[in-house]
Structure 1
């Protein structure tokens, strides 16, 4: 008698393909119907119940008028409390400003703090829209190359220090936890970066949107919490959208450490850079204040899934290098040892009918890499892994 399949975690493992394909979001809507998507960084899980309840209450009140926020949205104080409670960082609510998403946060800070042709250090590989932003804004990219070691992905701080000095770098964009490798930088590593920033008087733009997706025993440390000097030179970017699957609410926050930069931002014409929707604020506030139970279940599911990806890749594709992510829901697979002779993204799509992301859009050192989004149900993930391993293993002895 065949044993019954483990039903998994309710609310996470009971999603089905018909529901996923009926959604209008780009992840499932754009690919052909026979393709399983694991590319764009959206989760496949339903919206957290506390967020649904908060949004429904606002709609039921028929309350979609102009909000009365003379001192900014309530999300400013919610963010500051959350940083103190979760990370021991005394962030200041009056230094928080709302934007529509993290890309806009980054672009606004770069626009205000740097000029055409200025050098900006950034980790590579990296989130493609960040790299595209730097190119489009004509900022000189100073690459901080992540190195694949037996202990995982690491940074060469001596090389970074030298590159920053030689380029006359003005700012450093730090993505921690890191997309796409899943690294969570330690206190010592962050201290090395802080010393470099102090030595060369760098503005640090710290993207911490994946902080809520960190797996024990790893611990997220806000860069601005390291010291008074770090606090005064750091702009922190984050949002509830990644950790709570709320990308479409279009709401993010920026915490300004430098007095001069905050004053410059506030001197701009009102609404020049847009305003956030009250519904985005309501959704983000509900996630951060009432979503902890849902989020604990989420991390349990994602922890299981990251281990499943690592186990299957290690066993069935032993030539492919993959480190167990310390955060995020993204696997970063090095297929170069397979000598495919073509883009692995194209190979997996053609042979396995799975859409992944990867390649040069993540940086000059990302050719031959695949990024696999494992934030999906147990069944869908198993189907994805079966197709991916078959597509990469065929004719390669994997």
Structure 2
């Protein structure tokens, strides 16, 4: 592999390819052995030591019986405390409910708060399972285009206001930080969204799962923390899975702002939508209470990697548009100026032996785009970038 261009960080940059390929998760198990995966949003790094220790402790104590949670899992309290300490948001533990993952959270809220044919606004491009959920549930999509400007990705708030009014929109799905562009909305931009939501009485479903993967000087602001009105109309979805690499732990939380919606949710049979595993709660609690040191090292690595991606793409593929992401470990690359004549995902896989995400699953506007996951070691990232840039430069095919 290409030598690492900067100092390596133990625990993050000493990954072994055989160890990664022995994993049974989809990221490394699905591609052929000669393909490097940089597609699905899992990180390659080892699980944080405090999480491993907490899981071992539960298993070693044979503590796998029914949990004693008469007032909900301990995550309700831990979540509220973390929001207060990190963001100054006075989230209420009494309004937190556990679910298995963010997609289930979104589907449950849409099921309870909207009905067949209702209009729902969502940023585009967007996380494919969210768009697929809206299609499957027959909600009319009101697209909120993310516009590529010289200053980065932006939203057209005037157009959103008009589209919401014209469509009779019931809800806004807000993904902030945004997947796939990595854009973090500012306080002023969130304020404009809050004004639109108030003016048209929108339910705001705020996906904030990437909030802890934010790079200075950017700062995450929970939408529900903006005002009393925003708090009362917002359902916040989050999880430790992205920021601590725990996707398979199947544990997420929903914070309900609207009284009516929380009452409606609690009126359902308690197990109708499934319950979280106690091991998922153990892992999440350990991450949130004891994983901050690991996360600080992680952000150092990811900050270095995002800058390296931007540098290499800008130098080797100057026609490809790319903005340094404010958050996440995902790079969103516009290859349309290359006039490839085929989907770039296919070209990179065939000519470069790298599996990326991108294209129309992220929305019709995403044709010609690639999403590159840079949450890996420095040597592996260098090899991925060498292969991707060579494949996109090739005229073969």
TM bin, normalised by shorter chain, reads over 0.9
Aligned residue number for residue 217 of structure 1: 217
* Structure 2 counterpart of 1:131: 131
Partner of 1:197: 197
Deviation at 1:394, TM superposition (A): 1.7
Contact map agreement 2:4 2:382 (CA 8 A) in 1: no
Give the Cα separation in 1 of the matches to 2:61 and 2:20.
30
> What corresponds to 1:239 in structure 2?
239
Aligned-pair distance for 1:395? 3.1
Aligned to 2:160: 160
Whole-Å separation in 2 of the counterparts to 1:326 and 1:18: 32
Structure 2 partner of 1:121: 121
Equivalent pair of 1:124/1:146 in contact (CA under 8 Å):
yes
Q: Does 1:391 align with 2:396?
A: no
1:186 equivalent in structure 2: 186
* 1:87-126 matches, cutoff 5 A: 87-126=87-126
State yes or no: 1:146 paired with 2:146. yes
Secondary structure of 1:220's aligned partner: coil
CA contact (8 A) 1:144 1:160 kept: yes
For residues 292 and 240 of structure 1, the distance between their equivalents in structure 2, rounded to whole angstroms, comes to: 12
Structure 1: distance between partners of 2:13 and 2:88: 33
Q: Describe the SS at the equivalent of 1:255.
A: strand
Q: Is the 8 A contact 2:4 2:379 kept in 1?
A: no
| Structure 1 residue 270, shift from structure 2 partner | 1.6
Runs (4 or more) in structure 1 with deviation over 6 Å come to none
Query: For 1:4 and 1:350, how far apart are their aligned partners in 2?
Result: 25
Question: Does the 8 A contact of 1:184 with 1:218 survive in 2?
Answer: yes
Deviations 1:113-138 (A, max 9, x none): 00000000000000000000000000
- Report what 1:348 is aligned to: 348
Distance 1:350 1:192, change over 3 A: same
Aligned counterparts, 1:258-277, within 5 A? 258-277=258-277
CA 1:249–1:4: 2 relative to 1, 3 Å: closer
Q: Say if 1:7 and 1:13, in contact at 8 Å, map to a contact too.
A: no
Q: CA distance change for structure 1 residues 55 and 161 in 2, over 3 Å: closer, same or farther?
A: same
Instruction: Quote the Cα distance in structure 2 between the aligned partners of 1:270 and 1:151.
Output: 47
Count of residues paired in the alignment: 394
Q: CA deviation at 1:6?
A: 5.4
Q: CA RMSD in A?
A: 1.0
State the distance in 2 between where 1:336 and 1:248 align. 34
> Deviation of residue 249 (structure 1)?
0.5
The corresponding residue for 1:37 is: 37
For the 8 Å contact 1:7–1:14, the answer to whether it is kept is no
Task: Evaluate the alpha carbon distance shift between residue 4 and residue 281 of structure 1 in structure 2; reply closer, same or farther with a 3 A threshold.
Answer: closer
Contact 2:98-2:275 within 8 A present in 1 as well: yes
Identify the residue that residue 78 of structure 2 maps to in structure 1: 78
Q: Aligned residue for 1:173?
A: 173
Q: Deviations over 1:238-276 (max 9, x none)?
A: 000000000000000000000000000000012000000
Contact 1:120 1:141 in 2 (8 A): yes
Give the 5 Å matches for 1:297-376. 297-376=297-376
- The 3-state SS of whatever aligns with 2:153 is strand
| Structure 2 Cα separation of the partners of residues 57 and 9 of structure 1 | 28
**For 1:124 and 1:192, how far apart are their aligned partners in 2?**
18
Does 2:208 align with 1:208? yes
SS in 2 for 1:148: strand
Q: How does 1:59-78 map to 2 (within 5 A)?
A: 59-78=59-78
C-alpha distance in structure 2 between counterparts of 1:65 and 1:91, whole Å: 30
How far residue 364 of structure 1 moved from its aligned partner, in angstroms, is: 1.3
Separation in structure 2 between the aligned mates of residue 311 and residue 270 of structure 1, nearest angstrom: 51
Q: Secondary structure at the match of 1:270?
A: coil
Indicate conservation of the 8 Å contact 1:180/1:332, yes or no. yes
Change in Cα spacing, 1:4 to 1:247, as seen in structure 2 (3 Å) is closer
Q: What SS does the corresponding residue of 2:340 show, helix, strand or coil?
A: coil
Structure 2: any 5+ residue segments left out of the alignment? none
Query: Residues 338 and 141 from structure 1, CA distance in 2 versus in 1: closer, same or farther, beyond 3 angstroms?
Result: same
1:60-118 CA-partner distances (Å, limit 9, x unpaired): 10110000000000000000000000000000000000000000000000000000000
TM-score (normalised: structure 1): 0.98
Contact persistence 1:170–1:202 (CA under 8 A)? yes
Contact 2:145–2:156, Cα closer than 8 Å, also in 1: yes
* CA distance in 2 between partners of 1:115 and 1:259 (Å): 19
Partner of 2:224, secondary structure, is helix
* Alpha-carbon distance between aligned partners in 2 of 1:395 and 1:157, rounded to the nearest angstrom: 40
